Structure 1
Amino acid sequence: MNNDEAVIRLTEVEQSRAHFKLGPLNLNVPKGYVTAIVGPNGSGKSSTFRLLLDLAKADRGSMEMFGEPVGRDDVKLKQRVGYLPDDSLSEEDSLRGSERAAFTKIWYPGWDVNRYTELLNLFEVNPDLKLGKMSKGMRRKFELTLALSHDPELLLLDEPSSGLDPLAWKKMIEVLHHYMEQGNRTILMATHIIDEVRRLADYIVFLVNGRALGVYEKDELFSSWHIFYVQDERSVYELLSGIPGIRAKEKAGGGVIKVITNKAMDAEKWLQKEGIKITGRTPMELDEIMASLIDNDRLRMRQS
């Protein structure tokens, strides 16, 4: 990740509330890529977006977008951003979609009515309906349309597929792929949909209990995190502590030991060199990787 090309920079950002602390967060979001923030509910994903948009204030640390400090109420800076929040505003329920769009376009000189109409047709959204009368999926598609219609340089998407049926989800993926084709646009998204991460993300940030547990290049992450099953014989269990990238090991029964590593290629070579028989090997899914990171983080916190 080239930090010089970061569209977003968070440096030692903290926000403390009565029952939750976010941070300290250090994060650089690279220009021209899709970065996905994944983590359990309540881990701080939505709070991070609100801080970036100056909808809430950090207690300490610094934030930048496009090289400019966040927090100066800079309208021109926000005009470069499209935002899809996790929750719709109930205060807007009485507005028709067309009325909401008319209000939105006032704030964006780059509003493209043709793009707006194209997306409405693609998503099969009726803008004459009141927002409160739209289904959750239709309202989601309408709000995504609003976020895209002024041709933003940066998209902040908080659980973008929430409420979408499989066909609408596929259309959304295609729209976001098309959005990224120019090469100079950036997406920061929060999601818990594994297939969404696989289809869209270039980088993955694991955010748990308000803290980032790491930033990973997606393809490298999935190729390096594997589970090995090895034959339990001699003093293999103790020897396995030396396997490259070891994150966990346990006896799985039936004369087999289960080993988790984040350096799969090196681990396989090491096992072969040590003469340890591999009985099985499985690449890990995103939720399994996150669970392993959380377990290791809890252990580290207890030890410290």
Structure 2
Amino acid sequence: MEPMVIEVRGVLQKRKHFQLGPIDLQIPQGYVTAIVGPNGSGKSSLFRLMLDLAKPDAGEIELFGERVGSGDDTMMKQRIGYVPEQAIDVEDSLRADQKAAFISQWYPSWDLNRYQELLRRFEVDTSLKLGRMSKGMRRKFDLAIAMAHNPDLLLLDEPSSGLDPIAWKTMIDAIHRYMERGDRTVLMASHIIDEVKRLADYIVFIVHGRVLGMYEKDALLESWYSFYIDTGEGAVNWKAMPGYRSAEPNGGSMYKVITSEALEAERWCTASGVHITGKQKLELDDILTALIEQERLRIRS
């Protein structure tokens, strides 16, 4: 068993028009875990709860084995680097190095050389006030600040928002290098599929405030398939298929069937005399779409 950096147990947060949870989630040490879901699913709210910037109505969260909100958490937060989804407007009048000088006081492990190296790699103009930076440059600066004290845990909320393709590749490389030591952890929220595929070891799907599952990325992409099936003259009980997710007519006696257990489903088809005429791996966005539709059906019922 890998040690867990983050443990979320029964966390519930109720708002007037939205409910997050109850959520149970474990994030292992030494890996990149991506939270994937449509806008408004609760990804940013979950980050704020982890950092004690908001309080849950029920449940508890532990970071590094310490319960969030239980007392003085200064040392725990010194082990975390955080990039929020939105830049903090109140800082707009500060120049980059002014903010860095202030932030560095809170982190005993602040590495000035590391900070300067990240600024050079991200090509950040520190002479500008933060409010005058483009969205992309502000994002790069926030990433440099979050990584400059070599945290044990990086919480990244839509880290590539506003980045151009070159800066995006630089960010991917910086995170890969950050992970090289083997004991650091990244939890990121992202809607960029290629970003998730390049970085993530594990994927958490969250929809309408509910975690629909946590998967090892490579196993996930190997197990979700569309099967194109000719039913001939007979009826097929699709729900008996292992991993069945959905089935829709595809012309004549043909059906397109989605399964999350491709190998077992293929064996079931063979044993049931069902003829597969073609199959195709699903991409992450297709998997998310299938899960969203399944969740909508659950809510309706």
By how many angstroms is 1:270 displaced?
A: 1.9
Deviates more, 1:4-13 or 1:171-180: 4-13
By how many angstroms is 1:241 displaced?
A: 3.3
In the alignment, does 2:19 pair up with 1:21? Answer: yes
Residue 108 of structure 1 is matched in structure 2 by 107
Question: In 2, are the aligned partners of 1:46 and 1:86 still within 8 Å (CA)?
Answer: yes
In the TM superposition, what are the counterparts of 1:1-304 in structure 2 within 5 Å? 2=1, 5-71=3-69, 72-235=71-234, 237-303=235-301
By how many angstroms is 1:302 displaced?
A: 3.3
Aligned-partner SS, 1:91? helix
Change (3 A) 1:63 1:241: closer
| Equivalent AA in structure 1 for residue 28 of structure 2 | P
Question: In 2, are the aligned partners of 1:54 and 1:73 still within 8 Å (CA)?
Answer: no
Question: In 1, are the aligned partners of 2:207 and 2:295 still within 8 Å (CA)?
Answer: no
Aligned-partner SS, 1:238? coil
By how many angstroms is 1:16 displaced?
A: 0.9
- Distance (whole Å) between structure 1 residues aligned to residue 237 and residue 16 of structure 2: 46
By how many angstroms is 1:239 displaced?
A: 3.8
Deviations 1:162-189 (A, max 9, x none): 0001111011000000101111000000
By how many angstroms is 1:58 displaced?
A: 0.9
Aligned-partner SS, 2:39? coil
- Distance (whole Å) between structure 1 residues aligned to residue 252 and residue 167 of structure 2: 46
| Equivalent AA in structure 2 for residue 229 of structure 1 | Y
- Distance (whole Å) between structure 2 residues aligned to residue 225 and residue 258 of structure 1: 13
Aligned-partner SS, 2:60? strand
Please list every run of 5 or more consecutive structure 2 residues that lacks an aligned counterpart in the other structure: none
Question: In 2, are the aligned partners of 1:204 and 1:215 still within 8 Å (CA)?
Answer: yes
TM-score (norm 2): 0.97
Deviates more, 1:17-26 or 1:146-155: 17-26
By how many angstroms is 1:282 displaced?
A: 0.9
| Equivalent AA in structure 1 for residue 290 of structure 2 | S
Deviations 1:7-62 (A, max 9, x none): 00010001111111111010000000111001110110001111111111111101
Question: In 2, are the aligned partners of 1:14 and 1:58 still within 8 Å (CA)?
Answer: yes
Question: In 2, are the aligned partners of 1:131 and 1:139 still within 8 Å (CA)?
Answer: yes
| Equivalent AA in structure 2 for residue 296 of structure 1 | Q
Please list every run of 5 or more consecutive structure 1 residues that lacks an aligned counterpart in the other structure: none
Q: Give the number of aligned pairs.
A: 300
By how many angstroms is 1:254 displaced?
A: 4.2
By how many angstroms is 1:230 displaced?
A: 1.0
Task: State the Cα RMSD in Å.
Answer: 1.2
Identity %: 58
| Equivalent AA in structure 2 for residue 136 of structure 1 | K
Question: In 1, are the aligned partners of 2:233 and 2:253 still within 8 Å (CA)?
Answer: no
By how many angstroms is 1:240 displaced?
A: 3.3
By how many angstroms is 1:64 displaced?
A: 0.3
Aligned-partner SS, 2:236? helix
- Distance (whole Å) between structure 1 residues aligned to residue 3 and residue 286 of structure 2: 31
